[in-house]
Amino acid sequence: MSSPPVAVQRLVLRSPDDWHVHLRDRAMLRSVVGYTARQFRRAIVMPNLVPPITTMADAAAYRSRILNALDDRDDFEPLMTCYLTDDSDPEEIGLGFEAGVFTACKLYPAHATTNAHQGVTDIRRIYPVLERMQRIDMPLLLHGEVTDPAIDIFDREAVFIERVFSRIMMDFPALRTVFEHITTADAVAFVESGGPNLAATITPHHLCINRNAMFAGGLRPHAYCLPVAKRERHRLALRRAATSGSPKFFLGTDSAPHLIGQKESACGCAGIFNAPYAIESYAATFEEDGALDRLEGFASEHGPRFYGLPLNTTSIVLERDPVVVPERVAGTSEGELVPFHAGETLPWRFTGFAPGE
């Protein structure tokens, strides 16, 4: 009779990066940035501030504010993105990329989500920018949802593939594109069917919750984000993709803090604040699916390879030691934040960085 396998007690992973995060600004930035810097070595920082980050000067100033908000500046590298508008200037974007100020551009369809009102109204308006980006191999990051109010909110990602993304891929076949925070089996299939220049990020929450979470015993604003969580079959498709070992899928938390008062409201903001226990959440998911050996690829290797950046040489340590996620954490003087998994117990505890190999 064979004995049951002994559960792994300690995980040492190449330091991960977060390829999609909202760090906000001012007091909120100061409260949240430490959570991301604690576990991730680099992060792609979303540009949807008010006003958005659209110039090299904006990005450089925001990057300094991020570093100034951290106690230890050497350990964390914010990678800045440029928010595309109908008026984006290919020259500014091209120069910004070549100067290393911008790592990528972010496309928000106008009004698709938080602070997307200055986003792109018609993809043809930015074709000169996309041409330039394709030429210089600058990544395009897409919030993949149509905004047509006639389209059911649960179908907006699938319709975006049909109406917008397929056309971009056809017209710019060599453009490096990341389908951000995918939520559907349709997006998984689309990304799998594309070439190596098409990849996707997957959040911790879309791996854990389906749309029922928003209505469990009442309205649950802390489970509301955009793109909204979909049916269970979509969540399962995302789990299969994330744990498959395919280099096309990598970690992007989409951590998006909003104060409790902005979430628990008659018109609550979209966004799940998962930064405090992000790597612990992914570790729990990968373990549940028997794929702990694939966590490092997803969290620490597929992203930098796609972006053409070096792999991190330091490591992080996770111990099998249950951690209880607090109900609330500090936000600003105006209120607190509810972290993803609030009140739950996660099996793995992040215990810090280890020296590189």
Binding interface with ligand DOR (CB under 6 A):
22, 48, 113-114, 143, 225-226, 256, 270-271
In the block, residue with structure tokens 């990005």: 59
Is the CB of 292 or the CB of 338 nearer to Zn ion? Answer: 338
H, E, C per residue of 2-29: CCCCCCCCEEEEECCCEEEECCCCHHHH
| CB neighbour list of residue 287: distance below 8 Å, 6 or more residues apart | 347, 348
Q: Choose among 185, 309, 297: nearest CA to 248.
A: 297
152 classed as catalytic: no
What is the residue type of 118? Q
To the nearest whole angstrom, how small is the minimum distance from the Cβ of residue 67 to Zn ion? 21
To the nearest whole angstrom, how small is the minimum distance from the Cβ of residue 21 to ligand DOR? 10
To the nearest whole angstrom, how small is the minimum distance from the Cβ of residue 332 to ligand DOR? 15
d(CA 91, CA 219): 46
Catalytic option among 17, 18, 186, 254: 254
Residue least distant from Zn ion (Cβ): 254
Applying CB under 5 A, among 254, 280, 296, 301 the residue interacting with Zn ion is 254
User: For Zn ion, which stretch binds (CB under 5 A), given 35-43, 194-202, 247-255, 282-290?
Assistant: 247-255
What are the backbone angles phi and psi of residue 155, rounded to the nearest 5°?
-105, 0
Is the CB of 10 or the CB of 111 nearer to ligand DOR? Answer: 111
Is the CB of 48 or the CB of 177 nearer to ligand DOR? Answer: 48
d(CA 210, CA 188): 16
To the nearest whole angstrom, how small is the minimum distance from the Cβ of residue 61 to ligand DOR? 19
Is the CB of 208 or the CB of 226 nearer to ligand DOR? Answer: 226
Is the CB of 35 or the CB of 348 nearer to Zn ion? Answer: 35
To the nearest whole angstrom, how small is the minimum distance from the Cβ of residue 120 to Zn ion? 16
Please choose which of ligand DOR, Zn ion, none residue 114 contacts, taking the beta carbon within 5 to 8 angstroms, the exact cut-off set by kind. ligand DOR
Is the CB of 96 or the CB of 109 nearer to ligand DOR? Answer: 109
Please choose which of Zn ion, ligand DOR, none residue 271 contacts, taking the beta carbon within 5 to 8 angstroms, the exact cut-off set by kind. ligand DOR
Please choose which of Zn ion, ligand DOR, none residue 77 contacts, taking the beta carbon within 5 to 8 angstroms, the exact cut-off set by kind. none
| CB neighbour list of residue 82: distance below 8 Å, 6 or more residues apart | 47, 53, 54, 55, 59, 88, 92, 93, 96, 102, 104, 105, 106
Please choose which of ligand DOR, Zn ion, none residue 225 contacts, taking the beta carbon within 5 to 8 angstroms, the exact cut-off set by kind. ligand DOR
145 binding Zn ion? (CB under 5 A) = no
To the nearest whole angstrom, how small is the minimum distance from the Cβ of residue 355 to ligand DOR? 35
Cβ atoms 243, 286 nearer than 8 A: yes
Is the CB of 113 or the CB of 312 nearer to ligand DOR? Answer: 113
To the nearest whole angstrom, how small is the minimum distance from the Cβ of residue 156 to ligand DOR? 12
Give the largest Cα separation in the chain, rounded: 69
Catalytically active residues are 254
Footprint of Zn ion (CB under 5 A): 254
